[in-house]
Amino acid sequence: MNEDMNVPTNHPSIALIGAGNLAVNLAPALSDSGFRIRQVYSRTQEAARSLARRVGAGYTTSPAEITPHADLYITALADSALPVLAPVIASVNPQALFVHTAGSIPMDIWKGHAARQGVLYPMQTFSKQREVDFGQIPIFVESNSPEDEALLRAVASRLSRQVYAATTEQRRSLHLAAVFACNFTNCLYTLASDILQAHHLPFDVMLPLIDETARKVHTLAPRQAQTGPAARGDRAVMAAHLEMLATHPGWQELYRTMSKMISDASQ
């Protein structure tokens, strides 16, 4: 274990549990905002070491060596890993505040393990290859005490101008909406890229269309911004598209389903 022992007193010292897409973006944002990250944990040594170096922290790959000296433990782990590691993490410092960063996991994942518990959920898509501006990201906080909620608000407010309290149920709804707005949309980008690639066309030609579609919903409700053959009831175009997709039954069914949803919403 390699641990940095120099911790300022004006901010809670932080242990960051995880070194994936979110952690790689969150750690520098915290560091740049004046927080000392004492330690980074990851099961992969290179990931832990690389992220720790970026923020001047110590690192470990062993749950048994997670530092007991942090004030705030932030977990940025896969949803499947948190239930397994939560009891281990929470046992290292019973006085500390333990939070997770997941949209779909209830706060009470810490119940029975940590007296002080909470959530710090930045609603954004994260990739290691792209740096994001945390100032533009809505962050949702929750805690089992007013004092710790205030602490999490203070931490989040140093990262972002958009900080909100949200219950577990509200956060689950946010995460569900985000899956539709982000993950499913990106899957459709992949499908569009495959169609273009099959006809020797670059995906770049879609970017102005994608950008304008995103810009429109800044000023129009999504229903108002909807265009295309299904919205205008152009059955001839839709039939032609379905014929083009005959060799891909899954895509064809998706086209039918989406077109019906758009058509129904446009009536």
User: Beta partners for 122?
Assistant: 139
Residues of the chain with pLDDT under 50: 1-10
Mind giving me the DSSP string for the chain?
A: -B------SSS--EEEE--SHHHHHHHHHHHHTT--EEEEE-SSHHHHHHHHHHHT-EEES-GGGS-S--SEEEE---TTTHHHHHHHHHTT-TTSEEEE--SSS-GGGGTTT-SEEEEEEE-S--BTTB---GGGS-EEEEESSHHHHHHHHHHHHHH-S-EEE--HHHHHHHHHHHIIIIIIHHHHHHHHHHHHHHTT--GGGGHHHHHHHHHHTTTS-HHHH--SHHHHT-HHHHHHHHHHTTT-HHHHHHHHHHHHHHHHHH-
In CATH terms, 172-266 corresponds, of 3.40.50.1000, 1.10.1040.20, 1.10.3210.10, 3.30.540.10, to 1.10.1040.20
Contact of 86 with 110, CB cutoff 8 Å: yes
Residue range(s) in the chain whose domain bears CATH number 3.40.50.720 = 14-166
Residue with tokens 């905002």: 33
Query: Rounded CA gap, 208 and 193, in Å?
Result: 14
CATH 3.40.80.10 correct for 14-166: no
Q: Which residues does 23 contact at the CB level (< 8 Å), separation at least 6? A: 16, 40, 42, 51, 76
Please give the pLDDT value at position 9.
37
CB atoms within 10 A of CB 88: 13
- pTM (2 decimals)? 0.88
Residue range(s) in the chain whose domain bears CATH number 1.10.1040.20 = 172-266
Please give the pLDDT value at position 267.
78
| Dihedral angle computed from the Cα positions of residues 58, 63, 68 and 74, in that order, rounded to the nearest 10 degrees | 80
Query: Rounded CA gap, 81 and 59, in Å?
Result: 19
Please give the pLDDT value at position 79.
87
As a whole number of Å, the CA-based R_g of the chain is 22
Angle at 64 (CA atoms; ends 63, 69), nearest 5 degrees = 95
Please give the pLDDT value at position 20.
94
And the tokens for 199? 């006809």
Query: Rounded CA gap, 244 and 247, in Å?
Result: 8
